[in-house]
Structure 1
Amino acid sequence: MTTTTTRAAPRLFTPAHVFGAIAQLALVGVVWAGVFTALIAMLFSGIGLIFAVGFGLVVLVAWVYLMFAFGWAEVARVDGLYDFGLAPRRLRRSPRPGFGGWLHSLLLQLIDGPMWRAIASAAVSTVLGWAVLSLVAVTASGITMAFAPLYAVDRATVRLQGTGLDIPLSWAVVVGIVAALVSIAGLVGLAALHGLLVRAVLVPSREAQLAEQARTSQAQRVGAVRAADLERTRIERDLHDGVQPRLVSVGMTLGLAQQKIDSDPDAAKQLIAEAHTSTKAAITELRQLARGIHTSVLDDRGLDAALSALAARSPVPVTLDVRLAQRCSQPAEAAVYFVIAETLTNAAKHARAAECRVVVRQRDGGLLWARIEDNGVGGASIVPGGGLDGLSNRVLGVGGTFRLDSPAGGPTSVEVSVPCAF
């Protein structure tokens, strides 16, 4: 989930922005035009070849990804010039697993609004780039014409390039100066127009940003509430099914021992020993339950140390690859930790995995990302009210995304990404 933050409107008309826009538009007018030509040709080729043993489908799939790359480059270009604070474009990902999930991801990317807005921005920039190239030609021609009496003494007229006009030599100086000044003013105007248009196309309005923040906050609140309800239900179930019967058994055993302590001391000692063993087992279960609610090593030493301890306790061999430049917020670290802990538990209990791999990274944009893979039997799914449902809602509650891919027969992979500074 991407959180949009409001920013103060950047200044678009500083000399650096104007000169930078003119230089970029001159380049874009050539390069982007070639890219558009290639993409259009690729689209029609793919449609034309769609019945040729399916080869056209491959071309169209490649076309979708190239369109995304083109939009990504345009957004990076505009944001590098104006510093609008635009988030880097990312490929859309479907929550569905397997090949069907990939097809759904492809469809989501094809209809992705931000991608098409970036393409629209590139189209606007291309048209303005052509105009900039024409005005640059007029500017150069006007400057050259201003000096025409020095090199064209044997001519009656001088041509103003870019306009097709032949100017009498006696007017060449005046017309050349005026043409150069007007074309330079036109270049400045095009640069300013470029800034206004791309901001209108790419930057959401304040109302849209506030509406998106409200939707995001509502989704996070719902996810947090549901995650808390599922966690409470899990704790109640573990207490009811595990610790509570064991403590009841301890009480009954001690009651029997109390009855036999005078008549049969040896039997009473044996019952007390059984109660002692059961008490230690209950304490162990309570510690495990408490660890599932909160882990102190996560607060004291961070996610890397907590995951190392988790991997050491795992009954399935775990390859751990954690590379973190700095610590994240406690909610973000806790969400990632418990996703990894529950996934490893599922791999041992249900997937019958022989090994697991855990990768944790800090990514651009302030995201804490983790991927957990196992070589088990697969077939896992998110069931309402189940453990994976609780994990996904916990991640949603801190503004993150949760993705499960577990085809029948395996392998299973879980990806989670949360804002580091939630």
Structure 2
Amino acid sequence: MTTAPPRPSPLRTVMAPRRVAAAIAHLAALGVIGPTIFTILFTLLGLSLGLLPVLGIGLLFFVGLVYAIFAVGWLETARVNGLYDFGLPLGGTRRRERPGFTGFVRMVAAQTIDATSWRGVASIAIATLLGWITLVLFGVLASGLVFVFAPLFGESDTVLIARTGIEVPIAWAVPTGLATAVLSAAAIVGLGILHGIIARAVVVPSREAQLAAAVDTSRAQRAGAVRAADLERTRIERDLHDGVQPRLVSVGMTLGLAQQKIDTDPAAAKELIAEAHTSTKAAITELRQLARGIHTAVLDDRGLDAALSAVAAMSVIPVLLDVRLDGRCSRDTEAAAYFAIAEALTNAAKHSRAAEVRVVVRLRPDTGALWARVEDNGVGGARVIPGGGLDGIVNRVVAAGGQARIDSPVGGPTSVEVSIPCAS
């Protein structure tokens, strides 16, 4: 039995020579770029506060400020993650959970207090300050090196320290320059290490926060699974009650009439039996479709591409299917994606009045997720209603550990986008 090698300690990670060198380069760049970033942020803040009384125009700048903070935080998280490989997830903006202006206000408010964005802003603020000090130290390092070579070009017995007015005997120029260069280089390396330590402390959530987030995610998945199962049970009951059951009752009544007429009117009885036979085949077809909605065998046997091809072939709206998968995902992931796409096609056929639907499915190795998008060119205006088809999509995807996004402005188009971890 083999054991996995121990992970390096956080301090050893940030002290790796290549990471320290890269951190120094980042700090130097942020020492130049950082002030511009914060100038923009403070300008947006000033405009939002100053123009608030003017017909609420300041609110527009405030919304711009909120999403500018998100962009800065996202970029800083991506920079730190790429530099130190902390494994941080790059989240997106908060999504609207309710329609209308109230939903928009709630979305902006949630984005305003987003902890990840503010951690990123705090990290880049500290990195900018460290970057400015790094640039100063680079200047000191350059002055020290100039001092080392001053005796080669000096024409007097003293050397003037730039911008200080202090003169140093030329005999002391070399040791003074060497000491200055070594100390400033050591300070620069120290700042590179310090940046990694501070970045980990600021950007990476605490252990308690990570556990709380994991609990919230697990709770949401469990609630989604329970809700999806309840909706699935309701759908099966509805389909049986409204579809198969009346048809089977009709078959029984038709056979009863045929039994009564078989002696007196054999021709009519024969027609009734033929009608019952046709209804029986239709009931069998409905039962097969119902069973396929619960679980499709072709999904296990031939994969998601073949299963979606079968769904697209039965759609009453032309479907442009674009599936590019290099491998297979877990059974739960493929089942959730299949259900989401099939339900989205069903909703489009019932409500969208679309001329065509486009389905795109990709396996994204960078995120390890199965991504799918269903878009129609219909009238739009679709809303997530508790117990409805779109609600079932959201709950099924959340139960599988993924995310669903539904965008359907009035006038169209309507798009359903899902992303599910491949190994969920």
Same fold (TM over 0.5): yes
Asked if the contact 2:158–2:167 (Cα under 8 Å) also holds between the matched residues in 1, the reply is no
Q: Which SS does the other structure have where 1:88 is aligned?
A: coil
Counterpart AA for 2:17: P
**Counterpart position of 1:261:** 262
Tell me the CA shift for residue 259 of structure 1.
Answer: 4.3
Question: Take 2:418 and 2:326, find their aligned partners in 1: how far apart are those partners?
Answer: 18
Q: Which SS does the other structure have where 2:86 is aligned?
A: coil
Asked if the contact 1:64–1:110 (Cα under 8 Å) also holds between the matched residues in 2, the reply is yes
Given the alignment, which residue of 54, 62, 74 partners 2:76?
A: 74
Q: How does 1:20-35 map to 2 (within 5 A)?
A: 20-35=22-37
Q: Which segment drifts farther, 91-100 or 72-81?
A: 91-100
Question: Take 1:116 and 1:204, find their aligned partners in 2: how far apart are those partners?
Answer: 12
- Alpha-carbon spacing, 1:57–1:72, altered in 2? closer, same or farther (3 Å): same
**Counterpart position of 1:40:** 42
Tell me the CA shift for residue 248 of structure 1.
Answer: 2.7
Tell me the CA shift for residue 197 of structure 1.
Answer: 0.3
- Larger RCO: 1 or 2 (CA < 8 Å, sep 6+): 1
**Counterpart position of 1:110:** 112
1:347-392 CA deviation, whole Å, 9 max, x = no partner? 2223333333333334442232333233444443323233332222
Asked if the contact 1:97–1:407 (Cα under 8 Å) also holds between the matched residues in 2, the reply is no
**Counterpart position of 2:184:** 183
1:127-162 CA deviation, whole Å, 9 max, x = no partner? 11111112222222223223333333504343167x
Asked if the contact 1:96–1:404 (Cα under 8 Å) also holds between the matched residues in 2, the reply is no
Question: Take 1:148 and 1:8, find their aligned partners in 2: how far apart are those partners?
Answer: 45
Q: Which segment drifts farther, 409-418 or 190-199?
A: 409-418
Counterpart AA for 1:278: S
Counterpart AA for 2:290: L
- Alpha-carbon spacing, 1:184–1:164, altered in 2? closer, same or farther (3 Å): farther
**Counterpart position of 2:302:** 301
Tell me the CA shift for residue 109 of structure 1.
Answer: 2.9
Tell me the CA shift for residue 308 of structure 1.
Answer: 2.5
How many residues are aligned here?
A: 415
1:413 aligns with 2:415: yes
Given the alignment, which residue of 121, 124, 143 partners 2:123?
A: 121
Question: Take 1:97 and 1:350, find their aligned partners in 2: how far apart are those partners?
Answer: 18
Q: How does 1:310-389 map to 2 (within 5 A)?
A: 310-363=311-364, 364-389=366-391
Given the alignment, which residue of 136, 139, 162 partners 2:138?
A: 136
Asked if the contact 1:121–1:198 (Cα under 8 Å) also holds between the matched residues in 2, the reply is yes
RMSD: 2.7
- Alpha-carbon spacing, 1:49–1:395, altered in 2? closer, same or farther (3 Å): same
Q: Which SS does the other structure have where 2:248 is aligned?
A: helix
Question: Take 1:83 and 1:165, find their aligned partners in 2: how far apart are those partners?
Answer: 46
1:164-195 CA deviation, whole Å, 9 max, x = no partner? 75434343333222222222221122111100
TM-score, structure 1 as length reference: 0.88
Asked if the contact 2:299–2:307 (Cα under 8 Å) also holds between the matched residues in 1, the reply is yes
Question: Take 1:68 and 1:276, find their aligned partners in 2: how far apart are those partners?
Answer: 64
Asked if the contact 1:138–1:180 (Cα under 8 Å) also holds between the matched residues in 2, the reply is yes
Asked if the contact 2:255–2:273 (Cα under 8 Å) also holds between the matched residues in 1, the reply is yes
Question: Take 2:61 and 2:126, find their aligned partners in 1: how far apart are those partners?
Answer: 26
Question: Take 1:113 and 1:395, find their aligned partners in 2: how far apart are those partners?
Answer: 25
- Alpha-carbon spacing, 1:402–1:95, altered in 2? closer, same or farther (3 Å): farther
Asked if the contact 1:400–1:419 (Cα under 8 Å) also holds between the matched residues in 2, the reply is yes
Asked if the contact 1:64–1:109 (Cα under 8 Å) also holds between the matched residues in 2, the reply is yes
Tell me the CA shift for residue 232 of structure 1.
Answer: 1.4
**Counterpart position of 1:19:** 21
**Counterpart position of 1:3:** none
Question: Take 2:348 and 2:391, find their aligned partners in 1: how far apart are those partners?
Answer: 16
**Counterpart position of 1:4:** none
1:267-308 CA deviation, whole Å, 9 max, x = no partner? 332222122111111101111111211122322333233223
Counterpart AA for 1:321: D
Percent of aligned pairs with the same amino acid: 63
- Alpha-carbon spacing, 1:361–1:104, altered in 2? closer, same or farther (3 Å): farther
1:288 aligns with 2:289: yes
Q: Which SS does the other structure have where 1:350 is aligned?
A: helix
Question: Take 1:354 and 1:296, find their aligned partners in 2: how far apart are those partners?
Answer: 30
